[in-house]
Amino acid sequence: MATVVKNGKDRQAETRRAVRMMKRILVHVRGQIDERLRPQGVTTAQLVVLKAVQDEPGAFGAQLARACHMTPQSAQALLKSLEDGGWIIRTKDPVNSRIRIAKLTPSGVNLLGTAEKVAQVIEKKLWAGVPDSTVDAVNRALMRCLENLDG
């Protein structure tokens, strides 16, 4: 494929197109995960928080909110629903009793295992026919975009 130097308007149109496609992919992936996991009574948003609880043992609401890129209020609501579902337990922090830390229950661990299998099937479908070198290039480009926005 030949590389074409684009003028400002063409580049802007292509970068906006890329953003729209990223959004469409995210919506499709999330929708498919939600659809497959609906029988378990869990949403993608809950899974994001559940995964953060797994990855950051002993974390509390505000830390989990930052890890999940959401507001503390959203994280608290999701933590409550996960607790009500029996997927986590929250206990008082031994150092600061005003803080409640979250921990996965065995059913939470099982749910994450199921969700991982579902995600793998969807990701395999998403990336079918895309060479590893292209996936690597996409990851590098997206990392640069995130750095641009964060910096």
Is 142 a residue whose pLDDT tops 50? yes
Tell me: the pLDDT tens digits for 68-123? 999 999 999 999 999 999 999 999 988 888 889 999 999 999 999 999 999 999 99
* Tokens 């992919």, located at residue: 25
> What is the predicted pLDDT for the residue at 4?
56
User: What value does the mean pLDDT of the chain take?
Assistant: 92
> What is the predicted pLDDT for the residue at 1?
47
Tell me: the pLDDT tens digits for 49-61? 999 999 998 888 9
C-alpha dihedral, 64 to 71 to 142 to 123, nearest 10°: 60
Is 48 a residue whose pLDDT tops 70? yes
Is 6 a residue whose pLDDT tops 70? no
Regarding pTM above 0.75, the answer is yes
Find, among 66, 136, 135, 60, the residue nearest to 97 by Cα. Answer: 60
d(CA 15, CA 18): 5
Phi, psi at residue 104, to the nearest 5°? -70, 145
Q: Token pair of 98, please?
A: 């005003």
